[in-house]
Structure 1
Amino acid sequence: MSSTDNTVAVRYLVDDVAAAVSFYVEHLGFEVEMDRSPGFAALRRGALRLLVNAPGGPGGASQAMPDGSRPEPGGWNRFQIEVADLGAEVERLRAAGVAFRNEIVAGRGGAQILAEDPSGNLVELFEPA
C-alpha cells in the first residue's frame, strides 16, 4: 500500500454473498467493485473496501485454523458509518426490513445502534454528539 492510499479493507464472512451485496448496496450506499458470487464480492464506500466471502470456499479467508475451528459469520466486530441523523436513518432502515441488534444507545461521544447484515455481521451507525 502506498502512503497516498487511504483505503481500509474489512473482510466479513457471510452466509450468502448475493444477499450481502444487495444489503450493502441497497441500504448502506456501497458500490460493487467485483462480484464473484456465490463465493466472493468486493464492495466500496469511500475509503472502505468491504470484502465478503462465503465460508467453506477455497480461499484463504475461510480455511480452518490449526485447532480445526472454521471462520463463520456474525460476532461483535464491526465497522462504523457516521450519519447526520441517526433516528431518521434507523427509521428508514427499519422500514426497509433491516434488523438491529439493539436500540439506540447514547453516550458522551454521541449515539449509536448496531445494524445486522443478512448473516448477522454488524455495522455500527453512529451520530456524533
Structure 2
Amino acid sequence: MTDQLASVRYLVDDVEAAIDFYTTHLGFTVNLNAAPAFADVIRGPLRLLLSGPASSGAKATPADAAAPGRNRIHLIVDDLDAEATRLRDAGLPFRSDVVAGPGGRQLLLADPAGNLVELFQPAPR
C-alpha cells in the first residue's frame, strides 16, 4: 500500500451544489473541479469524490445501489453543539437528533443529494 488519501465516492445530482456544501459548511477544499460531471474535495486525509450523473463513476454504479443509504462519511468535531448551531443557522437539513453513546456524541446531516455526513464529538478520555 502507498501512503495516499482515503477516498470515498458520493453520487450527487448537482456537482456545483455539492462543492458549495462541502467547502462552505464542512471545511473541505477543492482539489479538482470538472463540473458538471465530477469534482473532488479534500479535508485532512479524506478525498471525497463527487460524481454527477455524467461521470463514469455514476455510470458504473448499478441503479439499485445508487440511492443514498446508511453509509456515511464521519467527520470529527471539537464541539458538536456549536457545529449543530452553526449548520442549523445556515439552513442545512439534519437527518437525526444528537445521539450519545459510550464513544461520544453524533449528529447526521444530508448533503444536497441526500448523502449522509456524520459529525462526531469523541467522549472525553
TM-score, structure 1 as length reference = 0.88
Q: Which runs of 4+ in 1 moved over 6 A?
A: none
Among candidates 23, 31, 34, match of residue 32 of structure 2: 34
The amino acid that maps onto 1:54 is G
Structure 1 unaligned runs (5+)? none
Q: Distance in 2 between matches of 1:64 and 1:128?
A: 34
The amino acid that maps onto 1:20 is A
Match of 1:53 in 2: 51
Q: Is the 8 A contact 1:38 1:54 kept in 2?
A: yes
Q: Secondary structure at the match of 1:50?
A: strand
Label 1:60 to 1:28 Cα distance change in 2 as closer, same or farther (>3 A): closer
Among candidates 10, 14, 17, match of residue 15 of structure 2: 17
Match of 2:88 in 1: 94
Label 1:58 to 1:70 Cα distance change in 2 as closer, same or farther (>3 A): farther
Label 1:71 to 1:16 Cα distance change in 2 as closer, same or farther (>3 A): farther
Q: Distance in 2 between matches of 1:62 and 1:18?
A: 19
2:85 paired with 1:63:
no
Count of matched residue pairs: 123
- CA RMSD for the aligned pairs? 1.5
* CA-CA distance at 1:63 after TM superposition: 2.5
Q: Is the 8 A contact 1:63 1:71 kept in 2?
A: no
Q: Distance in 2 between matches of 1:10 and 1:64?
A: 14
Q: Distance in 2 between matches of 1:127 and 1:108?
A: 11
Q: Is the 8 A contact 1:62 1:70 kept in 2?
A: no
| CA displacement 1:90-118 (0-9 Å, x = unmatched) | 00001011111010000111100111101
TM-score, structure 2 as length reference = 0.91
* CA-CA distance at 1:36 after TM superposition: 0.6
Q: Distance in 2 between matches of 1:70 and 1:18?
A: 25
Structure 2 unaligned runs (5+)? none
Q: Distance in 1 between matches of 2:82 and 2:101?
A: 18
